[in-house]
Structure 1
Amino acid sequence: MRKYLVMLIALVAAVAIAVPSFAVEFKYGGMYRWRIHANENMKDANSDLDDTANWIDQRLRLYFTFVGSENLQLVTKWEADTLWGLEKGAGRHGGGDWGADAVNLEMKNVYLDFMIPNTPVRALVGVQGLSYLDGWIVADDASAFVLKTAFDPVKVELGYIAGVNSDPVTDYNDMDDWFLALKYAEGPFNAAAVLFYQYAHDADYSYPNSIGYGGTGAVDKEDNHLVDLGFSLGYKMDWLGAKVNFVKNLGGYDIAGTDEDEDYEGWMVEAALDFYMGAFTFTLGGFWTSDDFAYPAGRSHYWAEIAGLGTLDVNVAGNDWYTSSYGMGGGLPNRGDYDAGDAPRNLWTIHAGVAWQALDTTKVTFNYYYLGTDDDVLANEATDEYDDSIGHELDLYIDHKLMDGLTLRLVGAYLIGDDALSTNEEDDNIYEVGARLLWKF
């Protein structure tokens, strides 16, 4: 054995000497974010119960890229989150109290980006960020193999995602994803078509599901395959911008222990218009999601501040990192059968907004949303009444550039609750205020 080890070391040394040295360029950057936050009634939409929340948090992201040439680079991204005053122990969000040292640095991305020799194809191999159709299909980090090529004005992306491989011996609890994306951009027009296939074998990883994502249909699934077929159209000129997103669920699953099967039949559509008039931008739009719309794992569509996570990452759906990580129990556990947050389902909204560039360094934005449900939901548990009106949300943002790269955002949001907001007899209003310092470097 020792003889073979010596031979191996000699071979490696010989190769190292024979291969000419080359310089590796080093690029770096990152982001620091600090936030202060307060909300009322976010958890239960009931002013008779004390659920006022106040906290400060911060996030650091560090980006290091090692560039061998224009055809080869290694991309790494690292992240550390801290909630001020709270030590959760080693792991994520630790180290916020006295003696604040903690082991909480996360690997966000590490992937190799290279051109395949003698082809026009670029490969990205490793843990990387993926986003399609503004997060209506996916927007998350994942272990993936992605091939990209361009046939101007069309770009093609083909990829595989290792979603879950919890047991290397069996595959009944695995999840494998494949996708094909076509992107077009020419002049003021852009378009995309995405085919995304999630094969969950005999498990349930779609949202909502019967395991833990908030679904109500508790069934054991076999041969579970969810397909998303998505399209987007966009147009932008000096005074007008427009976009449309559409996703249709296809595929299905077998119900274990029976001869029955079910199809995924949900859908969503989103449209928006932006009008540019000097220092003002006016926006009109909205979206509609069916009551049976399903998402593959990795979905993340942010929208309104209170109903849709927004800048401060807290929402009535209760799937924000703070409430889930620190035992607050999530938001609105007594809401009806709809989802807001980053995975809207059985929900529709009309949105109108205006942004004013008041100064070179200051921008003011106001947004209004009306929220309703596609199908009536339980609105009063005591009387078994159903309704389809969730309420009205008002969001105000003031963005100010303090210095190069450093911006301050002030946030104020108010949701006027209607009958379908929760299953309470009375649905009380929700407010949220906060500020964010953001430095991108």
Structure 2
Amino acid sequence: MKRIIVLALAACMVLGAALGASAAEFKASGYLYAGYDYLNVDEQGKVNDFSQRFRSQIDIIASEALSGTVFFEIDQDWGYTKAGNVGGGSGGRIGADGVNIETKRAYMTFMVPSTTVQVRAGIQGLALPGAVAGSPIINDDVAAIVASTSYDNVGVTAFFARPYAGSKDKFQNAGTIGDLFGAIVSADFDVVTVSPYFMFSNNGENSALGYDNLAGTAGKEAQWIGVAVEAAPIENLTLTFDGIYGKVDTLDAGYFVAAKAAYAMDFAVPAILAWYGSGLDDDGDNLFPVINGGLNFVPTTLVGFGAAATSEDALFGSAAGKWGVSLQASEMSFIEKVSHTFRATYIQGTNDDDFASVASLSDWTTDDKAYEFDFVTTYAMYDNLDLIVDLAYVVTDLDDAAPSTDDVFKAAIGAKYNF
């Protein structure tokens, strides 16, 4: 018995030494959210849901030059599950036990020896610059290789991403692959930061990857050239601008411009924001192209992923094919630990009314317009726990998109624990 114990202790010592030699620091961060969402779209119907979401990012840090990251998500609508209780969103029905862990990201980050070049490889978040309200082109999780470096006041990033391949069999996916290539340069001149960039989409002729808001573009190539500018000319004043040119194959190019001016005061940050995303002309050209929805430019609660609580509604789709002007006030606080955001926004479509037959709540023509009013309240109950009330009311005049819809009302309340 003593001999067995000694051998076991020796094995533990050897194993412990091996583990010590490859010791890594683990850091976890993320959030847990639960809440209720009510959405009334007049005659279109109602949403009456409770939902929850858990997201956790785990960083495995070997040194300042090497780390790995995994990012998981579990989300459910209460009372709902998928067939077989398997897949993302499963497990909300009685009995729970859904097989539902989603891998959002999994990548490694390392420094090239004796250089300032950082490389990140794997499924990761990839976003083009968006100074005003996020990128209207892409801000998503995708398999990619990203290399970045900096010198003095200039940073340079180059990337390759593969959002789509038709088959995992390398002998069968010829012509089905969709790839993205791009580069970003960011120059900081103290009071102004300028970030020009470009991206090229190289899709095989049999690729299913297209541009969500342009029908019949699967397998077509596209390119974008843009610039994001952020300036602080005087104390408390911030000016931002985005200008982008986007073209798909032989179609006429589209464009997207946005600007915002914000002034920080003691009790709030008032701002004015405006954008214009070109729409389809009478020949079916000129619409600004986006990838995977283009919903990360967020001027309002219901245009883009703007919901502060529960689901990211994006009821009115992306800002492409629309223009708008928004008066805003954020960080309003009159009671300790309670803050508010208010937005009043006019929105109108930019697609030619010749396309009225395919208009919808997310795709508007020039005959479609709306006035959206958003009010978000956040109560910081504890350092890591927020209670959120998210309200939106929209007066609509959607002649083509949804003529039977006179108004839209959204009310959501939830709790968010950040860790």
Question: TM-score by structure 2 length?
Answer: 0.83
CA contact (8 A) 1:284 1:353 kept: yes
**Residues in 1 aligned to 2:319 and 2:254: alpha-carbon distance in whole angstroms:** 12
Q: Which residue in the other structure is 2:375 paired with?
A: 396
Q: Distance in 1 between matches of 2:227 and 2:63?
A: 35
Does 2:259 correspond to 1:271? yes
Q: Equivalents in 1 of 2:401, 2:246: separation in Å? A: 27
The question of whether the paired residues in 2 share the 8 Å contact of 1:390 and 1:421 is answered with no
Stretches of 4+ moved more than 6 A in 1? 17-20, 378-381
- State the percentage of identical aligned residues: 21
Distance 1:165 1:195 in 2: 22
Q: CA RMSD in A?
A: 2.4
Instruction: Kindly state the Cα deviation for residue 20 of structure 1 after the two structures are TM-superposed.
Output: 9.1
Q: Cα deviations across residues 161-215 of structure 1 (Å, max 9, x unaligned)?
A: 011122222322210111101112342322211111111121353323xxxxx54
2:301 and 2:405 mapped to 1: Cα distance?
Answer: 18
Distance 1:95 1:421 in 2: 39
Confirm or deny: 8 A CA contact 1:249 1:264 kept in the other structure. Answer: no
Task: Figure out how many residues of one structure are paired with residues of the other and give that number.
Answer: 374
Shift, 1:423, TM fit: 4.2
**Residue 232 of structure 1 corresponds to which residue in structure 2?**
228
Unaligned runs of 5+ in 2: 1-16, 280-286, 358-364
1:92 to 85, 88, 93: 88
Aligned pair partner of 2:410 in 419, 432, 437: 432
Contact 2:295 2:303 survives alignment (8 Å): no
Question: Which moves more between the two structures, 138-147 or 298-307?
Answer: 298-307
CA contact (8 A) 2:295 2:304 kept: no
| TM-score, normalised relative to structure 1 | 0.79
User: After superposition, what is the alpha-carbon deviation per residue over 1:68-121, rounded to whole angstroms, capped at 9, x for unaligned?
Assistant: 110011111111111111122211001011110111011111111001112221
Distance 1:145 1:374 in 2: 36
Aligned match of 1:205 in 190, 203, 209?
A: 209
After TM superposition, list the pairs within 5 Å mapping 1:252-401 onto structure 2.
Answer: 252=249, 262-291=250-279, 292-297=287-292, 299-301=294-296, 302-311=298-307, 312-317=311-316, 341=317, 343-355=318-330, 356-377=332-353, 387-401=366-380
Runs (5+) with no aligned partner, structure 1? 1-16, 209-213, 253-261, 318-340
Specify the alignment match of 2:58 in structure 1: 64
Cα contact 1:235–1:241 (8 A) shared by 2:
yes
Q: 2:188 aligns with which of 185, 189, 198?
A: 185
- 1:102 partner SS: coil
SS in 2 for 1:157: strand
Q: 1:52 is matched with which residue: 32, 35, 46? A: 46
Task: Give the direction of change, closer, same or farther, for the CA distance of 1:304–1:19 in structure 2 (3 Å limit).
Answer: closer
Q: Paired residue for 2:100, among 101, 104, 119? A: 104
Q: CA deviation at 1:378?
A: 6.3
Question: Does 1:406 pair with 2:406?
Answer: no
